[in-house]
Structures are given as structure tokens and as C-alpha cells.
Amino acid sequence: MAAAGGAALGQSALAAGEPSAIPNPVPYRPSLPVPGAVAAAGIEDARFPDGFLWGMATASYQVEGAWNEDGKGESIWDRFAHGAGHIKGSDTGDVACDHYHLYQQDIALLKRLNQKSYRFSIAWSRIQPNGTGAPNQKGIDHYKRVMDAVLEGGIRPFCTLYHWDLPQWAEDKGGWPNRDLAGYFADYAGILARELGDRITVWAPFNMPWEFTYYGYGIGIFPPGKADFNQFLKAAHTVSLAQGECFRAIKGASSKATVGSAYGMAPAYPKTDSEADHAATARFHAMKNVFFLNAALKGEYPKAFVGEPPYELMGMRPGDDKIMRAPLDWVGFHYYTRRIVSEAGKAHTGAQQQYGTEVVADTGDTNGSDPYTQYHAVMPTEGPLTHAGLEVWPRGIYDLVTKISRDYDHPIIEISECGCCYMDTPYEKENGRIPDERRIAFFKGVLAELARAIADGAKVRAFHAWSLLDNFEWNDGYSQRYGLTYVDFRDQKRTVKDSGLWYGRVAASNRLS
Ligand code: FCB
């Protein structure tokens, strides 16, 4: 019976030694010009400055596993993934890449690939498993050991304090809409800076603060799964207070510390040349890209709203501008893709399109609706699409980096994440190599455009490829692969993809070919 079933699925026809049933795609050699692609000369000529920090990124819940070991408490992502119906294939981060146990091997990979910076995140629920107060020594000791391995490899640790895995106890107190979380977060930051400040000097409070507040409280696709725009507004304000408090807690505990950010950004272009579309594009940029950056650097929110800002709903109090303000030492942000934006007015549906962690949020009057920003943002499909459905548009990083440079007085910039999803697997005919040529093409284009921004004066000092490893991709579970290293989740075997080998050569030579 089993054999017959297999045959019906086309699985049992292969004799031993025959090539795999699902061959790898033919190498990516587009014969027609690819819209948005960078000309070959732009890639040939691209150069990066001496000392440029080539890096790779991961995040605790996506790679660590060991979800309940060494005293770790439950996080909202543990709860969400364990609940039915949230994650594709019912996948969870319980084991993920088992990086918690295999970190030495993974850091050795970074070293082998000539990496100079490792962006990772700490799981708050390992440090304070059950509530505020005394930390869990086993959790702290784990990260001390990881940092020692990173530093021994001659690699700079870049620590994100919060990559979405809120301790469940903090959610039980109301989560980010509860203003008290700013204080709890500052306590946690102080503990980290005291315990790890001798090893870590580069800190980012939050990964993609707009996304986790909007997705978690505004539209409910992330934990805790709430869909209420007013809750999002409150959560966003708490996070911006927390960002300021965290800045001061870290600086107060570690004199060597520098504090920056890891915002999610997407350059936005107006759909038409109308004044209304230009204004909507500016609101999108204010909301998605620089809401928290502006709060930190200027102590005020940028103009993301039509009419009077809903400060009361956000829970703003007199003096909050001073709490929000934090003169970041450097500005970190991600680049994946771009948006086209138009004025939404009030006659629209509230529909959303989701591409992994990139949600193109419409506005409207249902489910996550928002009468305040009134923009309509879509991701165009002029360029090629990755397996995750994101448009490949190299020019976007140039426009974004140069805009942030101009608007914020030429800060030091770190690209905290950039990458693409393709599903290439080991190819038996080539000794198990992983010829992920589309990923190489993606990075060549984006990096050529980044080099051009640097040549035009932007002070970019680091670039982190997402990701060191294929890993747990949030709602998509293990069905999306962003790694420059392939992970076989059945036995945790790592194999560096062709893109990883190529990126290692880029890191050694500061050029793309
Ligand atoms: C970013 C997230 C990261 C990963 C990539 C693909 O938005 O910060 O954790 O999921 O997308």
C-alpha cells in the first residue's frame, strides 16, 4: 500500500543512484534584460572602503532552539507557534537551527567566510524568565560564552536586545500597549550592559519596531495576535519611550557602549506626480521608515498622520519628548524591497498583502484599519520576484541610504539586514554544492548600488546579509530559506551555499567580482 501511494505521488519510480526527483533549477542566466538590474560595469567597478564591516545576521527565536532549556521562560513566539493554525506546517522554533548548542560551529563559519560583524539577538526570556528582578545566570553565561567565541574569531558582536520574542510574562501584563514595559525593558537593558558590556559595544534596542507593533497589535498576524489600531498606537509609543530609556540604561552601565538601531525600511515612490500621492508617500515614509528614528533623534514623531496626530490615543504625556529623545551613535536599518504609494482617502477596503515579514498594509475601515495615515502602499512587480514574492530592486538601497543621509545630517549608517529567499538545495550532480545563483545576483545588484551611495558620500560602515543560516522564518516556518548557509533541519548539517562562498570572497576583497 505504501509503495502504491508513493507511486501515485511519483515518489517511488527512482532507482538508487538516479538524480533527485526534483532537480535544482537551471542556473539563473536571464536571456532578456532584467528590469531594475544593475549593468555589469556597475558591478565590476564597485569598491568598498578599507575596514568596511562585512557581516551576517540572525535572531534568537529564528535560530537558537532550546526553547525551554537552562531556565528559559516562555516567550510570545513560543506560545504563538505552539498554538494551532498560526505557522505554516505547524512549524515551531523549539529546535530551529539548534544554534544554542551549535554556536561554536556557526561562529567558525563566520570566521571561515571572513566576516567582521555578527548581528544576533538576545532572548529576553533567557535573561528574565519569569518577571522583573534578578536575572537567570545560566542565560547570561550562555551569551558570555557565545560572545567569547565571536571575539576570539576577530568578529565584532552587534547585539539586538529585542527581535520580537517578548517574555510571555510581559505580555500577560498587557504587552507593549502597557507603558510600564518601557521601564521593564530598561531594566533588562541595564542587566545586559552590566553583564556583557565588556564584550559588546554595539547595541540596537529593537528590530523593526513599526513591524512588530503593527503586526502584533494593529493587524494581528504576529503574536499576541491583536487587531486594533488604537492598541498599535499605544504599543508604538511605549516602544519609543523604551528606546530612549534603553539608550540611557546602556550608556549608564557601560562606558564603551554605542547605541543605534535596526529599523525595517522600504524606500517609497509616489504612484503619480499628484500632490496627494507625494503627501501620502511622505506619510508612509514617516510611519514605516522613520517614526522611531525621528522620535530618538528629534524627540518628536514625524508627520505620519492626516490632520491632528492621535497623541491622546497613543498615551502621550507631557515630558515624553524628553524620554523618547536619544542621540543614537549610528543608524541601522534593513533593506529588502520598495513600495509605490498613493493617497487612499477613505474609500478603500483594508485589504492586506503579506510577503513574509513585509506586509503591504492598506488602510481602510476593517481589520487593522487606520483613519490616520490614509496611504495605500503596494509592492510593485516590475523587477523579478524572489521565492518569498518580494520584488528585487537594487536601486532602492541607493535611494534609501542617500535619503536618510540627507535628512538626518549624514549619520554613520549600518545596513542591519538585507537578503532574499530562494529555495536552492544541495545538487547531487555537483557533489552537494548549492548553486544559488539568483542570490548572488541579488547581492551583486544591491551591493553595487550601496557602493554607489558610499561613493556619493553616505557614511555606511557595515552591511549584514540576512542570514548566516536558513532558519525559522516566522509565520512561514521553515518553508522559506534566506540563508547563505543551507541547513538540513533533519540532522542540522550546515553546507555553505555558493552565495556564502562568494560573499566570503567579497568580504576579503571589498569588491564584487
Ligand atoms: C526581516 C526580519 C528577519 C527575517 C527577514 C527575512 O524583516 O527582521 O527576522 O525574518 O525579514
pLDDT number for residue 27: 65
pLDDT number for residue 511: 98
Report the nearest atom of ligand 1 relative to the CA of 357: 7
Which of 334, 359, 476 has the most ligand 1 atoms within 8 A of CB, as the residue to mutate?
A: 334
Nearest alpha carbon, ligand 1 atom 11: 357
For residue 22, pLDDT beyond 90:
no
Least confident of 39-53, 102-116, 364-378, 408-422: 364-378
Q: How far is CA 132 from the centre of its chain?
A: 27
pLDDT number for residue 251: 98
Task: Measure Cα distances from 141 to 137, 192, 482 in Å.
Answer: 6, 11, 29
Cα–ligand 1 centroid distance for 163 (angstroms): 9
Cα–ligand 1 centroid distance for 468 (angstroms): 12
Q: Is the CB of 215 under 6 A from ligand 1?
A: no
Q: Is the CB of 264 under 6 A from ligand 1?
A: yes
Burial of 393 (0-12, 13-18, 19+ CB in 10 A): buried
Q: Is the CB of 357 under 6 A from ligand 1?
A: yes
Task: Say how far apart CA 157 and CA 62 lie, in whole Å.
Answer: 18
pLDDT tens per residue, range 141-197: 999 999 999 999 999 999 999 999 999 999 999 999 999 999 999 999 999 999 999
pLDDT number for residue 368: 38
∠291-238-317 over CA atoms, to 5°?
95
Which of 261, 386, 466, 467 has the most ligand 1 atoms within 8 A of CB, as the residue to mutate?
A: 466
Q: Is the CB of 335 under 6 A from ligand 1?
A: no
The packing angle between helices 229-253 and 180-196, to 10°, is 30
pLDDT number for residue 8: 37
Q: For residues 449-469, give the mean pLDDT.
A: 98
For residue 259, pLDDT beyond 60:
yes
Q: Is the CB of 207 under 6 A from ligand 1?
A: yes
Cα–ligand 1 centroid distance for 318 (angstroms): 35
Task: Say how far apart CA 435 and CA 224 lie, in whole Å.
Answer: 38
∠480-30-435 over CA atoms, to 5°?
45
Cα–ligand 1 centroid distance for 357 (angstroms): 6
pLDDT band of 365, cuts 50, 70, 90: very low
Report the nearest atom of ligand 1 relative to the CA of 59: 9
Q: Is the CB of 482 under 6 A from ligand 1?
A: yes
pLDDT number for residue 367: 39
Long-range contacts of 499-504 (CB under 8 A, 24+ apart): 499/436, 499/439, 499/440, 499/443, 500/109, 500/113, 501/113, 502/440, 502/443, 503/54, 503/113, 503/443, 503/465, 504/112, 504/113, 504/114, 504/115
Cα–ligand 1 centroid distance for 102 (angstroms): 21
pLDDT tens per residue, range 271-304: 999 999 999 999 999 999 999 999 999 999 999 9
Cα–ligand 1 centroid distance for 257 (angstroms): 25
Report the nearest atom of ligand 1 relative to the CA of 207: 8
Report the nearest atom of ligand 1 relative to the CA of 421: 6
For residue 404 the three cell numbers come to 536618510
pLDDT, the chain, mean: 92
For residue 29, pLDDT beyond 80:
no
For residue 208, pLDDT beyond 80:
yes
Cα–ligand 1 centroid distance for 473 (angstroms): 7
Residue % of the chain over a pLDDT of 90: 86
pLDDT number for residue 9: 39
pLDDT number for residue 13: 44
Cα–ligand 1 centroid distance for 351 (angstroms): 22
Q: Is the CB of 474 under 6 A from ligand 1?
A: yes
